[in-house]
Structure 1
């Protein structure tokens, strides 16, 4: 086994998701995950403190990208336009591995109450990052929270569409997330 083989973190995530789907989250051990990924148990712990953290791998990066997109949006842009900029920034960083992992991750989360809880916390973290970035732009807190929750919903809907689309679909995640966000904006306008 190569000690510092590249891609260990990604292989660990893929191995864990597959094992969670095959035999259940509770029945899967760190040792099994490490073996499936072709790394040692100590390599696992260099990347993750425990198996629960595997499914929120990348959450900090995702939240940071959403926040940066909002922060970098032109000052005259509306709160919803700023959220759209955050969605575009974050989803533009998602690649083939994220797309491949989507359906497998969804199945693993659906089969475990603990993983569903972790997934919900991930959504809360994304919304909090976007809310903070909007408040920094001078947006009132209730408006910032509502815009952020719409952003989280659009990201999730867009990701589901992207992950389930035919592989020939080259309209990356950004296209799907922004389309979902446009639909939500129309729905919100219809509430008046």
Structure 2
């Protein structure tokens, strides 16, 4: 593969997931990832600070999409309607390539403690972004925090369902379904 071919970032992600699955996270080097992607180590470090972050590509973009989606919700939207709008914006950004390598990505993350910690940190960042967006709309705590946590959980559940090979639903549809399930479960607690 020529070094000048487009999609270097995606090629690095796919190469990393392949190598982590084949030889394990600890045994894989940045040089191996770059070589598998047909790129140089320098190119790798232009895109990612270390091999761990290659698995969490796009976190800043995800936060931006959530914030913009929440801000674009109608002024009359409830906190959960605002979260739904934010999740719509995020879910719409996911590609068929991400769905294809999603099961392997989750397997790699699940097999290594450091990666599970990083995934939890990413989820916390997205929850904080949602809570901040709700605070900006005048939603007080604990409603803002609870709605943000429900949104993050809904997205996590929807993503796990979306990457299941037998699934034939879109990520936005699954996100709405998951958020509705959580809404109903929360109402049943009273």
TM-score bracket relative to the smaller structure: over 0.9
Partner of 1:134: 134
Q: For residues 68-83 of structure 1, what are the structure 2 equivalents within 5 Å?
A: 68-83=68-83
Cα distance between partner residues in 2 of 1:71 and 1:164: 31
Cα distance between partner residues in 2 of 1:54 and 1:158: 22
- Normalization by structure 2: what TM-score? 0.96
- Normalization by structure 1: what TM-score? 0.95
Cα distance between partner residues in 2 of 1:115 and 1:129: 21
Aligned-partner SS, 2:182: helix
Partner of 1:59: 59
Partner of 2:117: 117
Partner of 2:164: 164
Say which of 165, 169, 173 aligns to 1:175. 173
Q: For residues 1-192 of structure 1, what are the structure 2 equivalents within 5 Å?
A: 2-166=2-166, 169=168, 171-192=169-190
Aligned-partner SS, 1:139: coil
Aligned residues of 1:66 and 1:90 also touching (Cα < 8 A): yes
Aligned residues of 1:55 and 1:118 also touching (Cα < 8 A): no
* Residue 165 (structure 1) shift: 4.1
Q: Alignment length, in residue pairs? A: 190
Cα deviation code 1:68-107 (max 9, x no counterpart): 1111100111001100111111101111011012101110
* Residue 4 (structure 1) shift: 2.9
Aligned-partner SS, 1:164: coil
Aligned residues of 2:99 and 2:163 also touching (Cα < 8 A): yes
Cα distance between partner residues in 2 of 1:138 and 1:31: 48
Cα distance between partner residues in 2 of 1:150 and 1:73: 17
